[in-house]
Amino acid sequence: MKDRIGAEIATHYPAEVGLGVEITRQEAWLNREGLNEQLRIPDFLRETIEQIAFEARDDQRIDKHSGVSQRLPITVIESVVSNAERRALVTGEKEIVPRISDVYAAIPSMTGKMELEYEGEQIGANRIAKDLIKRAAGEIFEGYFVGIDFSGTVRWFDEGNTVRLADTAAAEECVTLLEVVPELIDTVLIPFDSNARTMRR
């Protein structure tokens, strides 16, 4: 409408991540045949995807006039679920559980929903998208794990140790590889203890 008759409709973005999550949950095409019974999307992943949009709206490299609409997290979560669905078909797993790594597979659905300023064009949409994912994941991570000590795990990686998880690796294989990292799994499970939930909603 703007380019034809000069009319604009002012809209408001969700003020909180939780509201954005609910809008995305309502609008995203996840009601696919045979998927509902198998699909489990962790809350932290829904929040991370929503936080990406919040980060993008504050990023000076992204055009504020075009904005970043709610369509971004909607299309991202659809792509994330599709990638998880593909992995489940490859591994033969019955449960479809998206991972943080699946968000990177959704980068094309992010870059198609952002118009960049000159600085952003110089850097490139893919790099900006990866930066937004990193910042969003860090923000949500802090909300879940505030005050929890990961020093033993960090020290292990600082010593030069690495863990390589393939995109198509089954959940059981991932757990086996991650069990090698000192204290990681036990520490990660602390906020999800039903007797001591400290998760941010």
At 128-176, the pLDDT tens digits run: 999 999 999 999 999 999 999 999 999 999 999 999 999 999 999 999 9
Which candidate, 140, 127, 133, places its Cα nearest to that of 61?
Answer: 127
- Tell me the per-residue pLDDT of 173-189, one tens digit each, with 9 for 90 and over: 999 999 999 999 999 99
If you ran DSSP here, which 8-state letter would residue 181 be given?
S
- Among the ranges given (21-35, 46-60, 124-138, 157-171), the one the predictor scored with the smallest mean pLDDT: 21-35
* Planar angle of CA 48, 66, 41, nearest 5 degrees: 20
Residues in the chain: 201
Chain mean pLDDT for the chain: 89
Given this model, what pLDDT does residue 199 score?
37
> Contact, 107 vs 126, CB < 8 A?
yes
pTM, to two decimals: 0.86
